[in-house]
Structure 1
Amino acid sequence: MGKNTYYTDDDFWQKINAYAKLAGRKVIEKALQLYYAAADPNTPAWAKSVIWGALMYFIAPIDAVPDAIPVAGFTDDFGVMVCALITVNAHITEKIEKRAAEKIKEWFDQET
């Protein structure tokens, strides 16, 4: 996605893989939308900075509400990601939304 001292793609995917079920479909979908928007070369630098900030908060081992707490653990992460999505909304394209939705479907709909 980009070079950043505090954020790495590996950290992002480790967090997703470790906490996807606990975080839930909505949280992971928002995280993926942000991730794919930051990877898009058409997303401007200022928007990528907003996105990286939200994703850094998401992958941080310590935050306002510990992620291990069932149900409530990801409410703060979700709030940060929603604020970032509102801020960069013009750069969340239909293609990005579709890509995130496909990945979510692949992960969450295979459990039936």
Structure 2
Amino acid sequence: MDEVKIGEILLPGEESEQDAKARRVRKRFWPTLKRAIGHIPFARDLVASYYCALDPETPLRTRGILLGALAYFVLPFDVVPDFLAVVGFSDDIAVLTAAFAAVSGQIRERHYQKADAALKGPMPEN
């Protein structure tokens, strides 16, 4: 995946753009995660990122980066179709890895605790 493309995806954007991405992520995150769970090696970090991105205490820039990556993850059509199993999630993994590096240290223990609880029990629908 092209670094410029990843950079474009991870632009924090304006608050109105972030709100639109947050709505899309809230709607599609859990169903997409259920399909991907066996194909991504960092589900805990992904779910913690979801909680961090939706946390009003998270800095705006961090929220924007995470929402960009999560919105790409939940898109029904992306560079490599997700229905191709492991290969289909490779572009998502590249974007998410770049996002994790960009916000290093911003995902808090409380986000990981929520992720652990969500991954242990039945996953929410939305």
| Range into which the TM-score falls when normalised by the shorter chain | 0.7 to 0.9
Structure 1 gaps of 5+ residues are none
Tell me which amino acid in the other structure corresponds to 1:29.
Answer: R
Could you tell me whether the CA contact under 8 Å between 1:27 and 1:74 is conserved in 2?
no
Could you tell me whether the CA contact under 8 Å between 2:21 and 2:71 is conserved in 1?
no
Report deviation, 1:90. Answer: 2.1
Structure 2 gaps of 5+ residues are 1-17
- 2:107 maps to 1:92: yes
Q: Give the alignment partner of residue 121 of structure 2, picking from 97, 106, 110.
A: 106
Could you tell me whether the CA contact under 8 Å between 1:22 and 1:70 is conserved in 2?
no
1:37-85 per-position Cα deviation (integer Å, ceiling 9, x unaligned) = 0122221111111011101110111222211112222121122112111
Query: For 2:114 and 2:92, how far apart are their aligned partners in 1?
Result: 21
| Residue 72 (structure 1) aligns with | 87
The more displaced of 69-78 and 98-107 is 98-107
TM-score (ref. length: structure 2):
0.69
Partner-residue secondary structure (3-state), 1:56 = helix
Partner-residue secondary structure (3-state), 2:111 = helix
Report deviation, 1:98. Answer: 2.2
TM-score (ref. length: structure 1):
0.76
Query: For 2:112 and 2:37, how far apart are their aligned partners in 1?
Result: 20
Could you tell me whether the CA contact under 8 Å between 1:23 and 1:73 is conserved in 2?
no
Query: For 1:21 and 1:12, how far apart are their aligned partners in 2?
Result: 11
Larger RCO (CA within 8 A; separation ≥ 6)? 2
Name whichever structure is richer in helix by fraction: 1
Report deviation, 1:12. Answer: 1.9
Identity across matched positions, percent: 30
Could you tell me whether the CA contact under 8 Å between 1:33 and 1:100 is conserved in 2?
yes
**Over aligned residue pairs, what C-alpha RMSD do you find?**
2.4
Tell me which amino acid in the other structure corresponds to 1:68.
Answer: F
> CA distance change for structure 1 residues 73 and 5 in 2, over 3 Å: closer, same or farther?
closer
